[in-house]
Amino acid sequence: MSELADCLFSSAHFHVFHPRFGFLNCILLHVTEYASTDTTGILVHNKWPPQFTKPLLEGNEERKVWEVVPSTFEDLCEWAHVSQNPSEVNKTQNHLLLYKTSCSDGIESLYPVTIHVQGLLGKFNSKVFGSWTGIQKTIPSAIQYVNLKGCNHWEPWVSALHAIKNLRQIIYAALGDYQHVEADPSLNHNIFMQCQVFTKIRKDNQNKKSVLLPSDNPFCWMKAVDRAWGVTDKVQIARCDKSGAIVSSLSAVLSPGDFVNVGFTFDISTTHNASGLHKICAYLNIEHVLQLVKAVEFAKRKAVHADIPLLPQIELAKKQRFNGDSSNSLQPGITDASSNFNSNIGEGQLRDENENTTFRELIPVVSENVPEQAPALHSSAILGDGTITETVAKTNDHTDKELVAMDEAQLATYDTLTVARLCTFANYSDAKNLIYAVENIPPTATWGIFKPIHDKSTLLCDPLSNMPCTVWLPGVVSRVWMFDPKGKTRAHPKPFTDVYDARKVFNPKSEMDYYSATNLQMGDTVLMEAYIKHYCLRSDIDNLTPVNKCPWRGWKAYFELKCISLIHTTLQDDKVEAKKDEQHIHI
């Protein structure tokens, strides 16, 4: 394993022949100056603090033409192209993104475009069997995944995102999907990559052998896997030791917040529905994960070294975005590439529809001294006069209290303490207890896994624990319907009674008094806690004949009310109104 890692993470330039795709090459992302047309631009990882990327700074002095991504989209069309792989039996995944320029001296081979990027490790699952639960029918959907985020380093992060966007646009245009337009990159866009765990054994790859070691399968999970499936490729994991050398390692060394280097290829999938319309997806297929700096060390160094200065053009684009100009396109640095890592393109993946194509709105840059994790649900956040921003910083990853747009006219009717509490609720994020304000729901959240007992397939859940996420929605009551107004005698709906009094202090539910649901009035300010669920519109399929039944189904999502906490009431004669806790909100 160590020899394999030494080969995989060598900094020298080399070619490796793959039995399916021939010679493979990897490229490094670069960023060039705006006005420069020189292909020898500055490496993107050079834009990160040098102490983080020291192992990547060797062997990149000279680069050939094919190792550098062109500066414009038009030149990119002459640099890479989409081609079919005639040896691929699965026709929905027989396209490859290849280099147009020759990558070797007189050798006719296929060279898939391969990239590696750097960032902070978010939620991930790099275990050998990934998300597989041990159930036979979940084998095709078992994946390993990595979610990268850019922290506060705007310039290299947006440049990397822009390169991925341009390469995806090449794929969409080549396969006829001219209507597809990628979202403009921003600092808060994450890069989501994944890799299918199991490979379907077919005639074209029946000679492939399993790469599992005895240590990878201590509980003999493979005995439950059908012989038609096998683990023929693994995500390579490595780390930098104290001397700076790159050594092979286990996935257990990785933790959220690590500064890592991740290699990926483009996995192209094309599908058709009953109407003949085709859907094109360009997924990012993980090849390796290299831990450059541990999370603890990154946090220490981050507090000492200043951030990279932004280019004026990027800084202007950020200001325009903050002013609400959503139509303004960013013009970040152009991205280039260079060869370093050997990779291996695996089979096509079965992926979640949410992937990384849905992003949250742009959020202001965070100060480097703000803690990245929210406190536990039962911790206290001191709220006094003039400490609103401090409180929001303690309960969320972002310091701007205007992260969620709030009605200024409505806020003017409250006292200072109530405004502070509402800002806290509206910006709350607690990954440990899976409690989020609606704007802070993580992009990796997905629909739960089906199980015969405790089925969570209809709930929006955390992908690692398969536990449902709770959403906080502060607002003003505009309509109340807790009971059946008609009083039917045969059908008796269960009345909703989980209403709590949080006007004095917000505590765990077991420590708060119940508040009669009949006393809720229009205009009361409440905090609603809910689950996000979805259901299938079966009527769209049932109306079709068996001959032309479409495999695509329509779904609708909705909030399922969990409980209500009263924050402020319109009743003037309430004795509790003037006895608010002026010191703490216990959340």
Q: Which of 109-118, 256-265, 331-340, 428-437 has the lowest mean pLDDT?
A: 331-340
What is residue 500's predicted lDDT score, i.e. its pLDDT? 92
Instruction: Assess whether pLDDT exceeds 70 at residue 131.
Output: yes
What is residue 1's predicted lDDT score, i.e. its pLDDT? 38
What value does the mean pLDDT take over residues 517-526? 87
Entry field: residues in the chain: 587
Rounded Cα distance, 378 and 165, in Å: 41
**Which band of pLDDT confidence, cut at 50, 70 and 90, is reported for residue 61?**
low
On average, the pLDDT of the chain sits at 66
Q: Mapping DSSP to helix (H, G, I), strand (E, B) and coil, where does residue 355 land?
A: coil
Q: Which two tokens stand for residue 93?
A: 């995944």
What is residue 434's predicted lDDT score, i.e. its pLDDT? 92
How far out from the chain centre does Cα 546 lie? Answer: 38
* Residue pair 309/39 in contact by the 8 Å Cβ criterion: no
| pLDDT more than 70, % of the chain | 52
Angle CA 344–70–287, to nearest 5? 15
Query: DSSP labels for 563-578?
Result: EEEEEE---TT-TTTT
Q: Which two tokens stand for residue 142?
A: 């078992």
* Residue pair 262/117 in contact by the 8 Å Cβ criterion: yes
**Which band of pLDDT confidence, cut at 50, 70 and 90, is reported for residue 373?**
very low
Q: What is the dihedral of CA 320, 325, 328, 333, to 10 degrees?
A: 30
Q: Which of 19-28, 81-90, 524-533 has the lowest mean pLDDT?
A: 19-28
* Residue pair 367/397 in contact by the 8 Å Cβ criterion: no
Backbone phi, psi, residue 426, to 5°: -70, -20
pLDDT digits (tens, 9 = 90+) for 202-247: 766 666 677 777 666 655 666 667 677 877 778 888 888 877 788 8
**Which band of pLDDT confidence, cut at 50, 70 and 90, is reported for residue 508?**
confident
Rounded Cα distance, 448 and 464, in Å: 10
What are the strands, taking DSSP E only, across 63-206? 80-84, 95-99, 114-125, 143-149, 191-196, 199-200
- Residue 402 or residue 79, greater confidence: 79
Q: What is the dihedral of CA 243, 245, 248, 250, to 10 degrees?
A: 40
Q: Mean pLDDT: which of 22-31, 151-160, 205-214, 281-290 is highest?
A: 281-290
- Residue 456 or residue 403, greater confidence: 456
* Residue pair 427/404 in contact by the 8 Å Cβ criterion: yes
Instruction: Assess whether pLDDT exceeds 90 at residue 436.
Output: yes
**Which band of pLDDT confidence, cut at 50, 70 and 90, is reported for residue 437?**
very high
Query: DSSP labels for 269-290?
Result: EEEE-TTS-EEEEEEEEEEEEE
What value does the mean pLDDT take over residues 60-80? 69
- Residue 554 or residue 313, greater confidence: 554
- Residue 303 or residue 460, greater confidence: 460
pLDDT digits (tens, 9 = 90+) for 139-188: 888 888 998 887 667 777 877 888 888 888 888 888 876 555 555 555 55
What is residue 529's predicted lDDT score, i.e. its pLDDT? 95
How far out from the chain centre does Cα 183 lie? Answer: 14
Instruction: Assess whether pLDDT exceeds 80 at residue 125.
Output: yes
| pLDDT more than 90, % of the chain | 7
Question: Where on the phi/psi map is residue 412: left (φ > 0), alpha (ψ -120 to 50), or beta?
Answer: alpha
Rounded Cα distance, 180 and 177, in Å: 6
Instruction: Assess whether pLDDT exceeds 90 at residue 387.
Output: no
Rounded Cα distance, 449 and 456, in Å: 6
Nearest to 514 by CA among 497, 526, 494: 497
What is residue 137's predicted lDDT score, i.e. its pLDDT? 77
What is residue 370's predicted lDDT score, i.e. its pLDDT? 31
What is residue 487's predicted lDDT score, i.e. its pLDDT? 56
Rounded Cα distance, 324 and 340, in Å: 41
What is residue 531's predicted lDDT score, i.e. its pLDDT? 95
- In Å, what is the CA distance from 415 to each residue of 117, 295, 385, 573? 48, 40, 11, 17
What is residue 463's predicted lDDT score, i.e. its pLDDT? 87
Strand partners, 499: 564
Instruction: Assess whether pLDDT exceeds 80 at residue 419.
Output: yes
